[in-house]
């Protein structure tokens, strides 16, 4: 990867962090106060979306450090696993939570009577918990690929890149499954 690409990635990370972090803190405050008064199911989903985005933004300085170091990982190996896990799981979580908000809004417009029957916050809490559990289970592969004794790579210069053949035998089918289950299906 060229130096220009590293600088571009670093610039995007910095801009995302500088805009996203304060805005998501404000959103967290707004949704937290909204939930104390008469909460709607979408309020719980949007609060979870905000938490997911804040988790993403909290690990972004580690990704900035990686980009500033020329995409070389010079931090401890366990930090790479935590960073990769959080980076990928929050991206997928945000996507699925946005899908859930869209489905609830669609039901509200297309089926208003059913929507009023399902207007209990417990439904949104259960949906959010299911989404988080699915993503934690799916993205735990980042720990397995990097730390399982029979799969561990000797490449300590890169974080979740340059995989061995053994790692790719597991990782490629899983990434295809991620694409179908976590990206494509909910777009339909």
Ramachandran region, residue 135 (left: φ > 0; alpha: ψ -120 to 50; beta: rest): alpha
Per-residue pLDDT tens digits for 27-71: 999 999 999 988 888 999 999 999 999 999 999 999 999 989 888
**Count of CB atoms situated within 10 Å of the CB of 151:** 16
Query: Which of the following CATH numbers is that of domain 3-187: 3.90.180.10, 3.20.20.140, 1.20.1070.10, 2.30.110.10?
Result: 1.20.1070.10
pLDDT given for residue 63 in this prediction = 92
d(CA 8, CA 26): 27
Residue 181 has pLDDT above 80, yes or no: no
Average pLDDT, stretch 169-180? 80
Residue corresponding to tokens 């959080």: 86
Average pLDDT, stretch 111-122? 87
pTM of this prediction?
A: 0.85
Average pLDDT, stretch 114-133? 90
pLDDT given for residue 3 in this prediction = 66
What is the average pLDDT score of the chain? 85
Q: Which tokens go with 123? A: 């439904």
More confident residue, 14 or 169: 14
């Amino acid at each position: 990867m060229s130096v220009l690409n590293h600088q571009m990635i670093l610039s995007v990370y910095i801009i995302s962090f500088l805009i996203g972090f304060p805005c998501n803190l404000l959103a967290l405050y707004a949704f937290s106060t909204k939930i104390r008064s008469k909460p709607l199911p979408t309020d719980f989903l949007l609060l979870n979306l905000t938490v997911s985005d804040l988790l993403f933004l909290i690990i972004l300085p580690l990704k900035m450090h990686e980009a500033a170091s020329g995409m070389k990982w010079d931090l401890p190996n366990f930090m790479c696993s935590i960073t990769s896990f959080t980076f990928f799981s929050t991206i997928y979580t945000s996507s699925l939570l946005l899908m859930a908000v869209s489905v609830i809004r669609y039901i509200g417009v297309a089926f208003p009577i059913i929507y009023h029957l399902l207007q209990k916050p417990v439904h949104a809490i259960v949906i959010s918990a299911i989404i988080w559990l699915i993503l934690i289970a799916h993205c735990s592969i980042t720990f397995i690929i990097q730390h399982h004794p029979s799969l561990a790579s000797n490449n300590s210069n890169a974080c979740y890149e340059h995989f061995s053949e053994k790692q790719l035998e597991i990782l490629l089918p899983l990434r295809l499954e991620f694409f179908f289950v976590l990206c494509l299906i909910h777009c339909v």
